[in-house]
Structure 1
């Protein structure tokens, strides 16, 4: 909603798995609710509930915008997509294809003990009654100086990712990604790649091997027009480790092969097969996935 030419309201609501409430698997969530002010030409100030500027999918995660029935494992286990916080930030264009985002916001709160200790994804507070003992600062630089190409890097720092509930644990996230599309023949070649790394600086995290956590994936694809809509094929390989700080084998990997069919730009039917490789017997989840999605 635009209040004036220089002031606007941005919002995003999401209903997951049909049902929400106590004891239900679904959720009704507000992922964005912010005011945006044009403070100068090509520069904006934002305040409110915002998506963190990190990764490829966190800000653009509608089902018709990515391959596969589910998000990739790196932007699930290492970057906890979908990830939003309350904060204030600035963003804009710098010229030469460069743009920037800088944001100060509420931070994660990971458990310091138990099975989910220092688990990044479970640390999302989703803003509601969020503990704000220690906020976080996130900055991103992106270059999109060539058509169909985007190269980004993000860094985040939080003084204590436990929010005072355990040993003080400074946390640093560093992430980089490439998202490219190139026209070839009757269609276009796509390529996505992303790598992310967490450093948690405390003896408590180190004792569990969770002081270092990383992941990366690559995804080539090919998309072309048909009489009935767009059809795309993809392959994806992902590798991640949420306990990389010790010598124990804790690396997971996943290979996915599949296709997307878009009857219209905003609707999609998805089919893929995933093959898992886990460090412990019985932890693999090899399966065929079929799904559909839409946005409006």
Structure 2
């Protein structure tokens, strides 16, 4: 375009020169000077046009790239703990470092993942582990039906799905949800969330299950979807009610046809987990209460007293202001509740949370243990989420 305009201008210059060939030299010079100014103005205008076109192209490309990145989200959380108990060495541990990665493919289809490093360092001879706790695709079939496919957290309890440090009291997660449920607990499979009415929803999931081997310890039965045995799947259903402001009521039932995954030399161990909890908040006061119990079939489980495994806790808390809150918790749990001679672990805890920011918290608590595990000590912690 630029070359064509310049060529046209040159033709005009030569034509004008021919017409004025008989005029005096001074007039000819004036005409040439005017034509040169026209050429210079044309070149400057064309340069400006090309610069604007290039700038527009850069903006379009940049906008397209930014739009793609805007659909990808990054988050995470972490927590540092100091534990000091009687008859135990004091320890400091960066317990968890977690990163979330998500991406929205389109309005109704999205991906979410959770990648975790536990205890700061992993590898042969180290205490830590590298874990993939979530990696699933979520799809909205309608305004009332959403599905998950992949690896996700089991819909049970209070902290299993929401366990970022600023969201709960106490440096360590409570013993009931850790040893009975057992949080954090994830499996692979498919799940659906069905909104039956405002504030009333049902979750259903078919997933891989636990493998307790021949010792029937629930927490040790988590396979973490690492070449997990899937001879016997797990079926989970939950109903949750949140229609009243400040109130959450939920109940979960899970059934697995054999917790031993058909291991040789042991009886099949069909099992049912029942969990129910309530959270009620009035202004700055909140109370949490949870009950969970396993009923496991099989003579081996009964002989060990692990055919019944139960736990419960009550936790009132109060936020004095936006910076500080305090809590107290009483909890009992027993992984050998089927044995008449077994005592439950009893835990009484009190502590505070101090929020540097709504997503950054300092924690301190004192815990006294009795029953089958007599001890006492204190914990200090720091946590964040983003």
* TM score, norm. by length of structure 2: 0.72
Secondary structure (helix, strand or coil) at the match of 1:245 reads coil
Comparing both structures, which one devotes a greater share of its residues to helix? 2
How many angstroms apart in 1 are the aligned matches of 2:118 and 2:374? Answer: 25
How many angstroms apart in 2 are the aligned matches of 1:14 and 1:294? Answer: 14
How many angstroms apart in 2 are the aligned matches of 1:167 and 1:22? Answer: 34
Give the length in aligned residue pairs: 282
Number of the residue aligned with 2:375: 285
Number of the residue aligned with 1:81: 183
Q: How does 1:185-204 map to 2 (within 5 A)?
A: 188-204=284-300
Comparing both structures, which one devotes a greater share of its residues to strand? 1
Residue 98 of structure 1 and its aligned partner are, at CA, apart by 0.7
Give the ranges of 4+ consecutive aligned residues of structure 1 lying more than 3 Å apart after TM superposition: none
Q: Which runs of 5+ in 2 are unaligned?
A: 1-102
Secondary structure (helix, strand or coil) at the match of 1:49 reads strand
Q: How does 1:25-44 map to 2 (within 5 A)?
A: 25-44=127-146
Q: Which runs of 5+ in 1 are unaligned?
A: none
Residue 224 of structure 1 and its aligned partner are, at CA, apart by 2.8
Residue 96 of structure 1 and its aligned partner are, at CA, apart by 4.0
Listed one character per residue, the Cα deviations across residues 41-77 of structure 1 (whole Å, up to 9, x for unaligned) are 1211110001000000000001111000000010111
Q: How does 1:136-151 map to 2 (within 5 A)?
A: 136-151=234-249
How many angstroms apart in 1 are the aligned matches of 2:126 and 2:361? Answer: 27
How many angstroms apart in 2 are the aligned matches of 1:10 and 1:260? Answer: 29
Secondary structure (helix, strand or coil) at the match of 1:92 reads strand
Number of the residue aligned with 1:220: 316
CA contact (8 A) 1:242 1:250 kept: no
Number of the residue aligned with 1:172: 272
Listed one character per residue, the Cα deviations across residues 244-277 of structure 1 (whole Å, up to 9, x for unaligned) are 1121132110000000011111111000000000
Q: How does 1:244-283 map to 2 (within 5 A)?
A: 244-279=337-372, 283=373
Number of the residue aligned with 1:110: 212
Residue 233 of structure 1 and its aligned partner are, at CA, apart by 0.4
* TM score, norm. by length of structure 1: 0.93
Number of the residue aligned with 2:227: 129
How many angstroms apart in 1 are the aligned matches of 2:358 and 2:376? Answer: 30
Residue 284 of structure 1 and its aligned partner are, at CA, apart by 2.3
How many angstroms apart in 1 are the aligned matches of 2:129 and 2:378? Answer: 25
Number of the residue aligned with 1:154: 252
Root-mean-square deviation over aligned CA pairs: 1.0
How many angstroms apart in 2 are the aligned matches of 1:180 and 1:14? Answer: 31
Secondary structure (helix, strand or coil) at the match of 1:3 reads strand
